[in-house]
Structure formats: structure tokens, C-alpha cells
């Protein structure tokens, strides 16, 4: 008799293009930024807001502008089952302003200071530091026009990197307001028109509708052409000039390193006056990828149906910030660093260990275990890898004697301890070695330069 084996076709699924798994070993970097964000927000009085991942497509079309890259090329939008044109958020600000209006936050004492952290989506061409799903942390001050808010927003953005020992520089510009910008755009067009045919294809398209964006083109030929272009700061109206000077004075006072950069125009229609980006301090201006950026957007709330409301904010990208952290070799400690490893030998010991594990945890001891392993060698290897100070071994003999073996992982010395006194004994030994490095994570400062370790 012949047996016909049925062929099972295995299909392996892969990540969608531009998406990224954040594996367990990467999580400590993400946690560092999350903790840092929360601590910074608390310190400067920002409250957390979480808006949905999806909004009406039109919200982004209106806010970012129909000719922005985001709306023209990068939106993840679809028609849902109810026939609505829905988009995954490409950034936070529009959704936050919608929430500000919808929940009547205008009636609360102003300004409203909000922060968010979460994924955004842009259907961009994936490359190093650019994904289709990426994470941003985002801060906004809504309802105040004073330049001190611009300075505080820039301070908060800089502080996050400063606290992580990451050298950054603020690239800053002012793009004026609806009163003074049109005249500057004309001057710029006038200057560029003689080079129009030499501009890159994208910049040629932007010439009529979005001439400012030619200034931040990444194309070498465009960069050469705009090098000597007239600068917006020389064409600001009195109010915008005054505002810009005040912002810079505040930055001087705070000793925040900055560089005036006429090419920082940002990609979205809603910006007014201050625009800025955070760059790695050593970044090459021709090729640098900004870690984050932001600026003032005094007209956006009104554009979205609210009352005229000045506002300023910024967002930084976490993937790029984490890459920078790694490049700078800043060492991040694991937020969970066990002090004790619990090893067991045999079925009965395993049962006892399960309860002992709970007892140790409940006493505030950081403990890890090897329940899934049966051999002592493999468990001691695990303990070594984890870098614990002591391993507790619960074996058959110990079970009968009512004892537990405690092994000092550094010297290999082993001692028998009365099982009833094991928690107190562990606490006593740990207190002596002052091992709990988790204290270092306090205030989010769970990092040090590698040399400092
Ligand atoms: P933007 O508002 O476009 O300047 O974005 C602010 C920050 O978000 C950037 O400086 C990046 O760090 C990050 N970011 C924007 N788009 C992407 C992307 N496609 N992939 C990864 N990070 C991004």
C-alpha cells in the first residue's frame, strides 16, 4: 500500500514595507524616552492627551495644506465601511487642535499645555531613519502668543536630549505671518526665476505654489541655488521681527545652543513666525536628518473652525532619536535588573519555588527564575547572563531539610540557609551590596555615558 503524504504549504508572513518590530531587547531605549517625556512633561506642566490614530482625511488636508508632501504623497487614507474618507494620523498637531476645539478647552485657563506619544503614519519611501509607521513624542502650548512659550517649547525639546547626554543644536528661523510672508515669497520667486530651469523637478513644481519649500530642498543643485537667496528674517513685519528677537533673547538667557538657519521653513502650511528643528550637534547641514522640529501655528485652530488661538509646539521622532542615542554610545540600563535568580531541581522543588518566587517579589526583591529549565548548569548560565548577585537553589535535599542554598555568583561560595529565613537573609545581603541599580532610573536619568559605567 502506498501512503500519499499530503504536502502542507507553509506560508510565512513578513512585515509590511516600512513597518518595524520593536523587539524585547530594544524596549529599554523606548522606555527611556517614554520616562524622559513623562518627567519633562510633569516638570514643565504639560498634561497628557491621547487622540485617535484615525481622523477625517479632510482634517489633515486642511491643516497641513493640500500641496504639502504629507497630503500630496504620504497620507495613509482609505474609505471606511460607512463611506467616510479616513486617514491614519501623519502627525499629532491637527488631531490635538481638533480635540482642543471639540472639548471647549478654550474656556479653560490658557494656555493649555499638552503632550502625546505614539505612532504616526506616512506613506513615504522607506530608508534609513524613515519608516511608514514611526513614533513621535509631541508637545503643544495652545492659547498664548508670547515669545516665552516659543522659548519654553524649544527648551523642552532640547532638554530631552540634554538629559540623555546627547549633543544637539537648535536650527531656528522665522517665516513671518500672513501679513509679511507673501511679500517675501514674491522677492524669493523673483530671485529664483533666473535659475528656474536649473532647479530640481520637485522645486520647479513648488515654484508657483510652495516656493518656501525650495529653501529646504535636499537636492544639491537646489541647495547651491538658494545659498544666496534673500532671507525671510530681512522681510519680517515689525511684530514678527520683535517676536523673533524675543525668542532669541530667551534662548540666550537659557544658554540653549542655536544657529540661525534661513532654510528651516518646515513642510506644513500652518506654521507662522518661529520655525525650528533639533539637529545632532555634528550634523552635516547638507545631509542631516532632523531629530525633530516644530514652531508656531497661530492660525491653525481658527482654520479648523475654532476661535483665533495662537499656539506653538514640536514633535520629535523616536526612531531617529534612538539611533542617535546608539551612535553616541549612551548606555541605557535595563529598567528591570534582577538581583536574585531562583533555580530549582526536580518536580517538587519547582512547586515550592513557584510560591517562593511570589514571596520574594512581594518583599520588593528583583528576582528572575528558570522554571522552564531542569538542569542546574543551564540555570546557572541564565543567572550569569542576567548578572545577578545571588542564585537561590532549591533542590531535593534542601526540600527535605527545609533549607535553601544561596550561591554568591561572584565568588561561587555556597551556603545553606533556613528556608523560613530566606527572604530576610536575601534582604540583608542585598542591602550590604547596595545593588539595586534601579534607583539610577529615578527621574528618568537611567543613562550614562559608556565610560561612566
Ligand atoms: P516632521 O514634522 O515631518 O518634521 O517630523 C518630526 C520628526 O518626526 C522628524 O524630525 C523625524 O524625527 C520624525 N519623522 C518624520 N517622518 C518620519 C518617518 N517617515 N520615519 C521616521 N521618523 C519620521
Nearest CA, atom 18, ligand 1: 130
The pLDDT value given to residue 435: 39
Q: What is the DSSP string of 354-395?
A: HHHHHHHHHTT--EEE-TT--SHHHHHHHHHHHT-SEEEEE-
If you count DSSP H runs as helices and E runs as strands, how many of each does the chain have, helices first?
A: 15, 18
Counting atoms of ligand 1 from 1, which one is nearest the CA of 317?
12
Q: Separation of 165 CA from ligand 1 center, angstroms? A: 21
Among the listed ranges 11-25, 59-73, 410-424, which one has the minimum average pLDDT value? Answer: 59-73
Q: Ligand 1: which of 317, 319, 322, 325 to mutate, most ligand atoms within 8 Å of CB?
A: 317
User: What radius of gyration do the chain's Cα atoms show?
Assistant: 28
Range of lowest pLDDT (269-278, 327-336, 374-383): 327-336
pLDDT digits (tens, 9 = 90+) for 4-38: 666 677 889 999 999 999 999 999 999 999 999 99
Q: Picking from 6-10, 112-116, 410-414, which range would have the lowest pLDDT averaged per residue?
A: 6-10
The rounded Å distance from CA 452 to ligand 1 centre is 31
Task: Identify the band that residue 334 occupies on the pLDDT scale cut at 50, 70 and 90.
Answer: confident
Buried-state track 238-256, b at ≥16 Cβ within 10 A, e below 16: eebbebbebbbebbeeeeb
∠ at Cα 396 (390, 401), nearest 5°? 85
Work out the average pLDDT over 41-45.
96
Q: How far is ligand 1, taken at its centre, from the CA of residue 70, in Å?
A: 11
Work out the pLDDT band at 433, boundaries 50, 70, 90.
Answer: low
What is the whole-number distance in angstroms between the Cα of residue 261 and the centre of ligand 1?
19
- Contact, 199 vs 225, CB < 8 A? yes
Predicted local confidence at residue 437, as pLDDT: 37
* Centroid of ligand 1 to alpha carbon of 292 (angstroms): 7
Please state at what angle helix 93-102 crosses helix 57-64, rounded to 10 degrees: 110
Q: Is the pLDDT confidence value at 193 over 60?
A: yes
Closest protein CA for atom 9 of ligand 1: 292
Ramachandran area for residue 387 (φ above 0: left; ψ -120 to 50: alpha; else beta): left
| DSSP three-state, residue 317 | strand
Q: Whose CA is nearest to atom 17 of ligand 1?
A: 130
Report, as an integer, the average pLDDT of 405-425: 94
Task: Please give the Cα distance from 427 to 418 (Å, whole number).
Answer: 14
Looking at 192-206, 220-234, 235-249, 325-339, which range is the least confident one? 325-339
- Say yes or no to pLDDT of 447 above 60: no
pLDDT at 1: 58
Least confidently predicted of 65-69, 82-86, 315-319: 65-69
Mutate to test the pocket of ligand 1, among 17, 70, 134, 138 (most ligand atoms within 8 A of CB): 134
Q: What is the mean pLDDT of residues 83-98?
A: 97
pLDDT attached to residue 2: 60
Task: Give dist(CA 227, CA 229) in Å, integer.
Answer: 6
pLDDT tens-digit map of 163-184: 999 999 999 999 999 999 999 9
pLDDT at 3: 62
Residue 71 has pLDDT above 90, yes or no: no
Highest mean pLDDT: which range of 1-10, 209-218, 316-325, 427-436: 316-325
Closest-lying ligand 1 atom to the alpha carbon of residue 318: 12
SS3 66: coil
- % of the chain at pLDDT higher than 90: 79
Cα of 74 from ligand 1 centre, angstroms = 12
Output the residue whose Cα is nearest ligand 1's atom 16: 130
Give dist(CA 75, CA 57) in Å, integer: 8
Q: Per-residue pLDDT for 283 more than 80?
A: no
Atom of ligand 1 nearest to the CA of 315: 6
- Across the chain, mean pLDDT equals 91
Q: What band does 210 get if pLDDT is binned at 50, 70 and 90? A: confident
Ligand 1: lining residues by beta carbon, under 6 Å: 91, 122, 124, 129-131, 134, 136, 267, 290-293, 315-317, 319-320
* Closest residue by CA, ligand 1 atom 12: 317
pLDDT of residue 267: 77
DSSP letter string over 147-206? HHHHHHHHHHHHHHHHHTT--EEEEEEE---TTTHHHHHHHHHHHHGGGGGGS-HHHHHH
Task: Say if residue 60 is exposed, middle or buried (CB neighbours under 10 Å; 0-12, 13-18, 19+).
Answer: buried
Distance CA 41, CA 87 (A): 28
435 versus 5: the higher-pLDDT residue is: 5
Mutating to test ligand 1, I would choose from 89, 133, 136 the residue with most ligand atoms within 8 A of its C-beta, which is 136
When pLDDT is cut at 50, 70 and 90, the band that residue 399 belongs to is confident
pLDDT, tens digit, for every residue of 132-145?
Answer: 999 999 999 999 99
- Tell whether the model's pLDDT for residue 69 goes beyond 90: no
Closest residue by CA, ligand 1 atom 21: 130
Amino acid at each position: 500500500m502506498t501512503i500519499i503524504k499530503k504536502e502542507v504549504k507553509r506560508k510565512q508572513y513578513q512585515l509590511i514595507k516600512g513597518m518595524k518590530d520593536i523587539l524585547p531587547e530594544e524596549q529599554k531605549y523606548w522606555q527611556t524616552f517614554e520616562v524622559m517625556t513623562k518627567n519633562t512633561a510633569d516638570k514643565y506642566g504639560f498634561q497628557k492627551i491621547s487622540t485617535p490614530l484615525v481622523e477625517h482625511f479632510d482634517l489633515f488636508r486642511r491643516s497641513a495644506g493640500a500641496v504639502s508632501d504629507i497630503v500630496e504623497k504620504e497620507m495613509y487614507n482609505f474609505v471606511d465601511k460607512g463611506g467616510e474618507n479616513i486617514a491614519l494620523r501623519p502627525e499629532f498637531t491637527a488631531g490635538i487642535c481638533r480635540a482642543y476645539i471639540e472639548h471647549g478647552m478654550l474656556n479653560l485657563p490658557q494656555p493649555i499645555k499638552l503632550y502625546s506619544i505614539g505612532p504616526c503614519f506616512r506613506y513615504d519611501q522607506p530608508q534609513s531613519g524613515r519608516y511608514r509607521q514611526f513614533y513621535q513624542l509631541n508637545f503643544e502650548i495652545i492659547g498664548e502668543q508670547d515669545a516665552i512659550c516659543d522659548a519654553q517649547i524649544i527648551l523642552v525639546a532640547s532638554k530631552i536630549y540634554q538629559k540623555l547626554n546627547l549633543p544637539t543644536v537648535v536650527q531656528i528661523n522665522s517665516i513671518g505671518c500672513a501679513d509679511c510672508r507673501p511679500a517675501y515669497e514674491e522677492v524669493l520667486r523673483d530671485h529664483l526665476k533666473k535659475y528656474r530651469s536649473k532647479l530640481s523637478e520637485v522645486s520647479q513644481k513648488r515654484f508657483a505654489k510652495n516656493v518656501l519649500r525650495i529653501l529646504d530642498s535636499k537636492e544639491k543643485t537646489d541647495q547651491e541655488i538658494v545659498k544666496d537667496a534673500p532671507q525671510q528674517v530681512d522681510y519680517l513685519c515689525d511684530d514678527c521681527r520683535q517676536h523673533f528677537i524675543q525668542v532669541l533673547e530667551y534662548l540666550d538667557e537659557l544658554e540653549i545652543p542655536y544657529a540661525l538657519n534661513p532654510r528651516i521653513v518646515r513642510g506644513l502650511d500652518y506654521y507662522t513666525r518661529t520655525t525650528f528643528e533639533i539637529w545632532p550637534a555634528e550634523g552635516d547641514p547638507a545631509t542631516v536628518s532632523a531629530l525633530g522640529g516644530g514652531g508656531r501655528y497661530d492660525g491653525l485652530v481658527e482654520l479648523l473652525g475654532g476661535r483665533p488661538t495662537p499656539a506653538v509646539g514640536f514633535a520629535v521622532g523616536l526612531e531617529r532619536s534612538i539611533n542617535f542615542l546608539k551612535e553616541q554610545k549612551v548606555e541605557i540600563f535595563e529598567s528591570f535588573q534582577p538581583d536574585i535568580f531562583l533555580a530549582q531541581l526536580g518536580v517538587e522543588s519547582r512547586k515550592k519555588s513557584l510560591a517562593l518566587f511570589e514571596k520574594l517579589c512581594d518583599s520588593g526583591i528583583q528576582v528572575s527564575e528558570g522554571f522552564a529549565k531542569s538542569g542546574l548548569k543551564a540555570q546557572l548560565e541564565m543567572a550569569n547572563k542576567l548578572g545577578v548577585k545571588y542564585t537561590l537553589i532549591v533542590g531535593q535535599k534542601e526540600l527535605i531539610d527545609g533549607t535553601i542554598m544561596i550561591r554568591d555568583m561572584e565568588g561561587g561560595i555556597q551556603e545553606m540557609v533556613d528556608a523560613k529565613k530566606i527572604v530576610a537573609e536575601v534582604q540583608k545581603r542585598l542591602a550590604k551590596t547596595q545593588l539595586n541599580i534601579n534607583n539610577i532610573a529615578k527621574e528618568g536619568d537611567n543613562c550614562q555615558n559608556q565610560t561612566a559605567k
